[in-house]
Amino acid sequence: MKNYKFRVRGKVQGVWYRASTKRKAEELGLCGFVRNEPDGSVYVEAEGEESRLQALAEWCRRGPELARVEAVEVEEGEVQGYLGFELQRHAG
């Protein structure tokens, strides 16, 4: 079990990025959350098997059809033990 933190930059708010990320994460059997950030980016924290996290990272680099992803920063974090995958409205 690993924890990955993603910061996705580009045209990623208002294009169904969060809902699409939640659906993809659930398909992959991952737990965690996704939320919009005040700076216009999207933040994702996900936990699960490394191969599944890599698949989510690959998906995040494309995103949903209307998104225009410019950059995805990925770092490993501490496992939090999330249950399910949440769509959060915004930071804070």
Hey, which residues are catalytic here? 18, 36
Separation of alpha carbons 12 and 65, rounded Å: 10
Separation of alpha carbons 48 and 24, rounded Å: 13
Residue type, 92: G
Separation of alpha carbons 72 and 67, rounded Å: 13
Separation of alpha carbons 71 and 48, rounded Å: 23
